[in-house]
A and B are shown apart, each in its own frame.
Chain A
């Protein structure tokens, strides 16, 4: 599985690598001189090899890919060497590069929506890629396009080729992008964050497809991503980038098992893992340096817990690690082994405040009770006389409750209705159908005043810390806003702002700054501080960390855990990242097409999922450990969520259900005739909605929720 190849950039005589990048540097024009984006990146790839480039935002990973493709704006200065089969690509004219781009080097972009032209048919766009480089007739190119679309798994390709991009889902568009990329049998395939915008089940499909594409074309593949787990699954070798430089490189297995650069150690320690739920996360303190003003010495020094004086003066080069075939850029790489230095972990495990006495769940009062909640959107036509031509049922009779001090994770793919549910709850408006009660009060019976009072108890933290803070308000005013709305006096407001900033780990001076001055992690802390201002009992967290980098995310997750324990908060945690939900939630509700398909204790649901959808979701989540990751079998789901205006009869999941496909016909009939209700399973209050549910542990063994946590040594 792992090729034992020389990983030094200098290949032995005679076997020149297929694709070689050496000392690549990219600098953009800044206000005060050039801003380096990539500072000397080298790697080499042979045929069929997969290289994963991992880094956080601003690490220069995408800039390096664009530089290789010659796609950077002319204002950027690129130097170094990029060789394809010995031919130098840097400095070629745009016309000559255009002949190579798309035919010998192909790229798959992050955003499949903007990478396709909206006004041309899918088939024509793929055919164009074929015609430009192969000079065949239009008809032949079209036939080849259909063939390619079929190869990337687009059902009914001949017909779908006539569709426009907007008629395709995100996953389907990414398939089209891959079809275009492999149209000319490229030597090198560069995928820049190919799955970042996609749901986890679709991500699994696309990753599998990338693997197929690599096998079909034999192309050397570069996968650029921020997701360590994705790299663990598909790459042979990995390059970790930080502040424009490779800080660690080598074959995937040893790098994950025994990283030598503290940044890699920190990154691996800050990823929440589905298979180790109880393990505390180790956030990396601070934020990446400003590339325009890089400090002297190692760029990681200010965030590094084991720095020594030499780190501040001399920047370490990427040098070989003794007795291994990999490299790390750290002065202390020789002392670090298995995440430890001199016997102590490089990133000490933070103490998780677990001093909460676990009173039985039934004894605690319910903060939120939802019973058979329904939310419909009418589809109307006409401008003057609106006629109702149909209804979309976004949420169709869901029930759950949240007890005091408990975190419920609401999980589902985009379009399943989880955001609609949350908005319906936050509006505090009477539901169309069903009943919602908060803190024992029925929302439908509330007066205007009562509703306003209830607002104090339910607050929200949004997903995007850049959109959820008013850019024109200073932080102090943002945090004080809820207090102001409830008539708290100015003096007390200011005192409270200071307390809240302290509580979320910021300093009081931040009150006089604007959101634009702060990093993503700090902004999200401000969002949390605002939500806590009124001392609510229930906090709705709508994907609170999905817009943050991994190392920052860990700090915010730890903060949420801390607040939950210390303030006795209840959380409704909405998320699509199951690893994060696993880390935070005590209970989990899995949502599919407007229904809950499985509800229960987090350990139960994740450890013994009984609904085929939950099983598929869990199997699709990659785990950042190459050994485990490659041995797992994926349950790949076909297609996308069903059209909410035209749901299948009976069980909604049956159109994609792997279990349904294997059932004998007489059993299938029950699935297509009878809508399965939530029914209790084995133990406790674990429920799932499947006629033929059975326990199928998906995750590797050792997934028990142990609070002690295992160190990174295994």
Chain B
């Protein structure tokens, strides 16, 4: 091996193992952005892909399931079969029936539909709000910071359950979107405080300074540098929120707010079915199983996404 002709190009790149050992002309190389690199990395993660498939199937089941089931068996989540009260699973009623003869399979699918919507919406809204508020407060500091943190503290001391209960009561049938919003609205504050703390340390890092000195705007810095560097925290927070929102909604439903009979959600089915868990387990088992499956799939996908976003993670696990 001889020295390169131009001593200034005596770069140390030769020793970096390049992906395929290919060193074509520079024009051949496609400069991929972060988005494409992250997607490619996510696609290579088999567990995450499986979780994604499970989630898609769940969504498809929740959307198309009730219609198909009604077409096959003729039962919906509202109608009652007076000939089959509290029956175990059978060919007629796949998941059995309730005390008053409602088909559990139809209920479960309907409940899945509601719960997925509530869980995902609440998670996206609350984590998104936490990330944006926390990052802006931490990065901008001063009055913005003080104002936003004052709001966070205020929301923390307000008894959330009471507010949701009071507001939820007046909304009736169309209440669930508002309910979701309220659940999200009272779930983001602690995360926002953590995000703000992380931002305070990130903001002093030189790469943030470098971005600022090369003319990147404040939102640019927040969305391109600060939030991606906290993605592990945010993804974990979002996965947890999916589950807690579904459970929180069931708590509210139990007290009669939010999703009310005859409409059902996974949470309300679990709440109703648990007391008779030993005598007629089919009442809550399927709803509970789907809840577990959903949270599991979400957290595996979240893990995969986190690994794809964090270039250091595969290094640790892969070699």
Interface residues of A (CB under 8 A from B): 31-32, 283, 285-287, 289, 302, 305, 307, 348, 350-351, 426, 452, 455-456, 458-460, 462-464, 467-474, 476-477, 480-482, 484-486, 493-494, 497-498, 501-502, 504-519, 521-522, 525, 527, 530-531, 533-534, 552, 555, 558-559, 562
Partner of A482, one of B7, B10, B214, B312: B214
A511 close to B210 (CB less than 8 A): no
Contacts A285-B12, A509-B18, A527-B210 aside, 5 further interface pairs with beta carbons under 8 A come to A285-B11, A286-B14, A473-B225, A555-B12, A562-B8
A506 close to B312 (CB less than 8 A): no
**Residue from A286, A302, A516 with most neighbouring chain B CB atoms (10 Å):** A286
Partner of A498, one of B19, B31, B217: B31
Give chain B nearest CB distance to A7 CB in angstroms: 32
Give chain B nearest CB distance to A451 CB in angstroms: 9
Q: Tell yes or no: B91 within 8 A of A by CB.
A: no
B10 close to A283 (CB less than 8 A): yes
Closest 8 CB pairs of A and B: A350-B7, A514-B311, A482-B214, A505-B11, A508-B26, A508-B29, A468-B206, A455-B215
A485 close to B216 (CB less than 8 A): yes
A473 close to B26 (CB less than 8 A): no
Instruction: Knowing A455-B215, A470-B225, A482-B215 are in contact, say whether A498-B26 is a contact too (CB < 8 A).
Output: yes
Give chain B nearest CB distance to A76 CB in angstroms: 20
A586-B29 Cα distance, complex, nearest whole Å: 39
A512 close to B31 (CB less than 8 A): yes
Give chain A nearest CB distance to B199 CB in angstroms: 14
A351-B319 Cα distance, complex, nearest whole Å: 41
A505 close to B213 (CB less than 8 A): no
Q: Mark B3-23, 1 if CB is under 8 A from A, else 0.
A: 110011111111110110011
Q: Tell yes or no: B315 within 8 A of A by CB.
A: yes
Q: Which residues of A contact B319 (CB under 8 A)?
A: 31-32
Give chain A nearest CB distance to B146 CB in angstroms: 12
Closest Cβ neighbor of A496 among chain B residues: B31
Q: Mark B55-83, 1 if CB is under 8 A from A, else 0.
A: 00000000000000000000000000000
B12 close to A456 (CB less than 8 A): no
Q: Tell yes or no: B279 within 8 A of A by CB.
A: no
Partner of A552, one of B12, B18, B23, B225: B12
Partner of B309, one of A472, A476, A504, A509: A472
Q: Which residues of B contact A474 (CB under 8 A)?
A: 32-34, 37
Instruction: Knowing A286-B12, A468-B207 are in contact, say whether A507-B32 is a contact too (CB < 8 A).
Output: no
A476-B2 Cα distance, complex, nearest whole Å: 29
Closest Cβ neighbor of A426 among chain B residues: B213
Q: Tell yes or no: B237 within 8 A of A by CB.
A: no
Q: Tell yes or no: B244 within 8 A of A by CB.
A: no
Q: List 16 A-B contacts (CB under 8 A).
A: A455-B213, A468-B207, A468-B209, A474-B32, A481-B224, A497-B31, A498-B29, A505-B8, A508-B26, A508-B28, A509-B18, A509-B19, A512-B32, A522-B16, A525-B11, A530-B210
Instruction: Knowing A32-B319, A558-B8 are in contact, say whether A494-B206 is a contact too (CB < 8 A).
Output: no
Instruction: Knowing A471-B311, A498-B27, A511-B31 are in contact, say whether A485-B15 is a contact too (CB < 8 A).
Output: no
Closest Cβ neighbor of B204 among chain A residues: A467
A509 close to B29 (CB less than 8 A): yes
A504-B11 Cα distance, complex, nearest whole Å: 8
Q: Which residues of A contact B12 (CB under 8 A)?
A: 285-287, 519, 521-522, 552, 555
Give chain A nearest CB distance to B128 CB in angstroms: 18
Give chain A nearest CB distance to B244 CB in angstroms: 27
Q: Tell yes or no: B1 within 8 A of A by CB.
A: yes
Q: Which residues of B contact A350 (CB under 8 A)?
A: 7-8, 10
B3 close to A285 (CB less than 8 A): yes
A494-B36 Cα distance, complex, nearest whole Å: 14
B26 close to A455 (CB less than 8 A): no
Q: Mark B37-48, 1 if CB is under 8 A from A, else 0.
A: 100000000000
A493-B7 Cα distance, complex, nearest whole Å: 27
A502-B206 Cα distance, complex, nearest whole Å: 24
Instruction: Knowing A468-B206, A517-B16 are in contact, say whether A509-B23 is a contact too (CB < 8 A).
Output: yes
A366-B32 Cα distance, complex, nearest whole Å: 39
Instruction: Knowing A506-B13, A522-B16 are in contact, say whether A468-B210 is a contact too (CB < 8 A).
Output: yes
Give chain B nearest CB distance to A544 CB in angstroms: 12
Q: Tell yes or no: B220 within 8 A of A by CB.
A: yes
B206 close to A462 (CB less than 8 A): yes
A569-B251 Cα distance, complex, nearest whole Å: 66
Give chain B nearest CB distance to A463 CB in angstroms: 8
A469-B231 Cα distance, complex, nearest whole Å: 17
Give chain B nearest CB distance to A613 CB in angstroms: 29
User: Which positions 190-209 of chain B face chain A at CB distance < 8 Å?
Assistant: 205-207, 209
Q: Which residues of A contact B1 (CB under 8 A)?
A: 302, 307
Q: Which residues of A contact B207 (CB under 8 A)?
A: 467-471
